[in-house]
Structure 1
Amino acid sequence: MTTADVFGLHRTHLIGVAYRLTGSVADAEDAVQEAWPRFAKAEGVEDPRGWLTTVVSRICLDRLRSAAVRRETYVGSWLPEPLVTTPEDDDPLAAVVRSDGVRMAALVLLDKLTPDQRVAFVLHDAFAVPFGEIADVLGVSEAAARQHASRARRTVTGSTPPPRAALDEQREVLEKFLTAMVNGDIDAVLGLLHPDAVMIGDGGGKARTAVNTVSGADKVARFFLGLLRKYGYPEHRPVLVNGDLGMVMAAQGEVASRVTTFTVHGGKVAAIYDMANPDKLTHVEF
């Protein structure tokens, strides 16, 4: 087996690691690509998967630290880049979205962590990487690596999103929800929203969406019904977004192109994520 063949065997795994670490499709693909020449030149690698995971994680850590600086001046909420697939897709990204850990709700939670905490937590809890290897990635002692993971775990405890609802349940709930929206039936909309529902938009100051998180069923319902009255019901294409049902909408009049996805829990819409920043949608076909 050639070096390229060995690398190819681990590509999907590496994309999954890099995307969960960075929340960026572009950064994940770049990190994996950057790891290839290093692997091609390496000699005597006994554990290619572990070696490549470490290299990709180091690259992602650098990108996370740079992103943390950029976010200080970011306009509005920050959402991960969406992974848009269809049930028929059979590529590395389609394989990655099968994991609960790349759901939009899960990635939003990871964004609360520092870069070092995120790397330690994801590598250990999601991919069972030993703390000794995590310490090498972070450039700290093994005890410090454990502490980063422990602090991350405390941050996310109690906020972990519920398991992904079956696609049939998602489809049934969303069809009812969208029908109620089109009909302007606020009571029906409210009945399909979780009381603590949230709507998070990411326009990055370059496209219109909610600048601040909209919280509570009543506010979320009135926000969307107001948009429908102003702009009408948008044409859309159903897709999977990070493995959950969502939609892709091309630019229509004053409304920018966007990808919107939902979290369904207990037969209700618990969260809506609206990604409109064009910089994060360059890999999406509209």
Structure 2
Amino acid sequence: MALTVHDVDRFESSRPRLEAIAYRLLGSASEAEDAVQETFLRWQAADVGRIQVPEAWLTKVLTNLCLTQLTSARARRETYVGQWLPEPLLAGDPMLGPADTAEQRESLSYAVLTLLERLSPNERAVYVLREAFDYAHREIAEILDLTEAASQQILHRARKHLAAGRARAEIDGAAARRVVEEFLVAATSGRTEPLVRLLTEDAFAIGDGGGKVPARAKAFEGALAVAKFMRGLFKPGTAQRKLVGGSPEVHVTTANGGPAVLVVVDGRVIGVLCMEITADGIAALRSQVNPDKLERATRRWAATDHPEPRLRPF
């Protein structure tokens, strides 16, 4: 049955919310877009006149498509080259979705998106729907074909798994930005000691190159190891320019609601370094350099105004 203009408008009004749900569930903007498009095709094929609550119907279809995708994604990630990390989204990207409450902000953070990979598909779905979108357990139970009690138990397990992997409480945005600025000064100083002072003792650094860009699959662990790695990464030289394909510009920015360093070459985002900063120092540095996961960031960067780069290291 062909959709009316009104039917299409009803779906399009739900698209931003659906994309935000799918992104949190899948950790990939491109896969989220595909899941939402498939949901539209299901909407197009349905007898929409008989659907009493379109929002609930669309959420159920989308969530179950994402659950199927998550199950197959686990198998694919076993053969993924190197470490798999989520696709970062820059500030203002509508796919980030709501960030009004502490729970919503935490659910979109790069650290939590990474930790969500530890959860089962059902745990991930319950956590995202409840914490990020404030669905009642009754609604989640209907979406996932569970009982309300089961939904509550799954949420409890999910929170417990995530708490075990979280760093200490993070600091506010202004303080975090100052730490990032200090980090860049220290990283380009050519010395290890200033970096060590900014890191927690158990800090770690890891990257995702997807087999297309060199990236350390095994994490650097401990302040000294991370500091040496970062010092080498920002060291000027012909080799670095050749590796990145030109002279990079480094910006201090926000990705997934948290502090980040953005590296741009000729208008193309080639790296996003997401930092987990606590009152004790920088606890984690996660680098996304897989070009397939930076296309949306590049489009977003090109479409927005931004200040002059913080530095041009080489």
Q: Give the TM-score range, shorter chain.
A: 0.7 to 0.9
Question: Among 248, 253, 277, which residue is 1:264 paired with?
Answer: 277
Q: Which residue in the other structure is 1:241 paired with?
A: 255
Aligned-partner Cα distance in 1 for 2:276–2:43: 38
Aligned-partner Cα distance in 2 for 1:147–1:18: 22
- 1:17 matches 2:30: no
CA offset at residue 217 of structure 1?
1.2
- 1:34 matches 2:38: yes
| Gapped regions of structure 1 (runs ≥ 5) | none
- 1:208 matches 2:214: yes
Q: Which residue in the other structure is 1:192 paired with?
A: 198
Instruction: Return the TM-score normalized by structure 1.
Output: 0.84
1:225-275 CA-partner distances (Å, limit 9, x unpaired)? 1223363894223432112232332459xxx92222212211622211111
Conserved 8 A contact 1:76-1:204? yes
Letter in 2 for 1:151: R
24-33 vs 127-136, which deviates more? 127-136
Aligned-partner Cα distance in 2 for 1:162–1:2: 48
Task: Tell me the C-alpha RMSD between the 2 structures.
Answer: 2.9
Q: Which residue in the other structure is 1:93 paired with?
A: 95
Partner SS, residue 211 of structure 2:
coil
Partner SS, residue 257 of structure 1:
strand
Q: Which residue in the other structure is 1:277 paired with?
A: 290
Q: Which residue in the other structure is 2:112 paired with?
A: 106
Q: Which residue in the other structure is 2:128 paired with?
A: 122
Partner SS, residue 129 of structure 1:
coil
1:176-235 CA-partner distances (Å, limit 9, x unpaired)? 111011112322211111222121201122211211111211111011112233638942
1:60-112 CA-partner distances (Å, limit 9, x unpaired)? 11111111010111122110011123xxx4x5235456732111001111111
172-181 vs 26-35, which deviates more? 26-35
Aligned-partner Cα distance in 1 for 2:14–2:98: 12
Aligned-partner Cα distance in 2 for 1:161–1:29: 31
Q: Which residue in the other structure is 1:2 paired with?
A: 6
Conserved 8 A contact 1:54-1:133? no
Aligned-partner Cα distance in 2 for 1:269–1:114: 29
Partner SS, residue 164 of structure 2:
coil
Aligned pairs, number: 279
Counterparts in 2 of 1:152-191, with a 5 A limit? Answer: 152-161=158-167, 165-191=171-197
Aligned-partner Cα distance in 1 for 2:135–2:61: 13
1:2-38 CA-partner distances (Å, limit 9, x unpaired)? 2333333332222221111100101112212222233
Instruction: Return the TM-score normalized by structure 2.
Output: 0.77
CA offset at residue 276 of structure 1?
1.2
- 1:52 matches 2:58: yes
Conserved 8 A contact 1:131-1:142? yes
Aligned-partner Cα distance in 2 for 1:111–1:119: 12
- 1:80 matches 2:93: no
Partner SS, residue 74 of structure 1:
coil
Of all paired residues, the percent bearing the same amino acid is 37
CA offset at residue 46 of structure 1?
3.0
Conserved 8 A contact 2:98-2:133? no
Aligned-partner Cα distance in 2 for 1:57–1:94: 17
Partner SS, residue 75 of structure 1:
coil
155-164 vs 20-29, which deviates more? 155-164
CA offset at residue 146 of structure 1?
5.1
171-180 vs 233-242, which deviates more? 233-242
Question: Among 216, 220, 230, which residue is 2:226 paired with?
Answer: 220
Partner SS, residue 249 of structure 2:
coil
Letter in 2 for 1:206: K
Distance 1:260 1:16, change over 3 A: same
Partner SS, residue 296 of structure 2:
coil
